[in-house]
């Protein structure tokens, strides 16, 4: 089964909402980005694209595209799911790295929303701090890693090598 790895990091700044996995998290700062800055969904998108051999999020949604400014990352997920065509998502595992806010109490809600956006596939979500180390540990940014596993959609033949 093809597996893809995704990583993303966004800077935390004033006067932005904080969206993680499509869930609005109450916090004094939010993630800077051309889109809504949802670092978790971006990592998931790169994991999906990677597993399907479809390049990366920057190819699919170029920074210079003015129509993507402020775009809801949930819409980006929907577009990538449509790109997968002969693949179906089997499993997604996500690790958020944030010193603040504390995400432990939000893990269930974020995992549930990512799962919904992916059509109900199992999503496991872990939240870690960076132990006070570096820019992540100083609360300057939030990062996310994701792994996705795909399987051939029923009724499609697996390509033979």
H or E segment at 126?
strand 123-128
CB of 20 to Mg ion, least distance (A): 12
Contact status: 42 vs Mg ion (CB under 5 A): yes
Contact status: 38 vs Mg ion (CB under 5 A): no
Residues touching Mg ion, count (CB under 5 A): 2
CB-wise, 1 or 5, nearer to Mg ion? 5
CB of 10 to Mg ion, least distance (A): 6
Cα separation, 104 vs 65, in Å, equals 35
Cα separation, 114 vs 109, in Å, equals 9
Contact status: 46 vs Mg ion (CB under 5 A): no
| Span near Mg ion by CB under 5 A; candidates 42-50, 99-107, 117-125, 144-152 | 42-50
Token pair for residue 94?
Answer: 């996500």
The CA distances from residue 19 to 1, 2, 155, 156, 157, in Å, are 31, 28, 36, 35, 38
CA angle 105, 110, 108 (to 5 degrees): 50
CB of 42 to Mg ion, least distance (A): 4
Cα separation, 11 vs 131, in Å, equals 18
CB-wise, 63 or 131, nearer to Mg ion? 63
CB of 105 to Mg ion, least distance (A): 24
CB of 38 to Mg ion, least distance (A): 8
Contact status: 8 vs Mg ion (CB under 5 A): yes
Which residues form the interface with Mg ion (CB under 5 A)? 8, 42
């Amino acid at each position: 089964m093809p597996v893809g790895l995704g990583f993303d990091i966004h800077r935390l700044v004033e006067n932005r909402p904080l969206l993680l996995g499509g869930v609005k998290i109450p916090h004094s700062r939010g993630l800077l980005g051309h889109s809504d800055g949802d670092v978790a969904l971006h990592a998931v998108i790169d994991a999906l694209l990677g597993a399907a051999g479809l390049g990366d999020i920057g190819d699919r949604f170029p920074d210079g595209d003015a129509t993507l400014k402020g775009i809801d990352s949930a819409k980006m997920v929907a577009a990538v799911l449509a790109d997968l065509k002969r693949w179906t998502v089997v499993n997604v595992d996500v690790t958020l790295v944030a010193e603040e806010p504390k995400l432990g109490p939000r893990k269930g809600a974020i995992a549930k929303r990512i799962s919904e956006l992916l059509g109900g596939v199992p999503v496991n979500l872990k939240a870690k701090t960076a132990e006070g180390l570096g820019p992540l540990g100083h609360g300057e940014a939030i990062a996310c890693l994701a792994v996705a596993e795909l399987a051939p959609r029923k009724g499609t033949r697996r390509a033979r090598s």
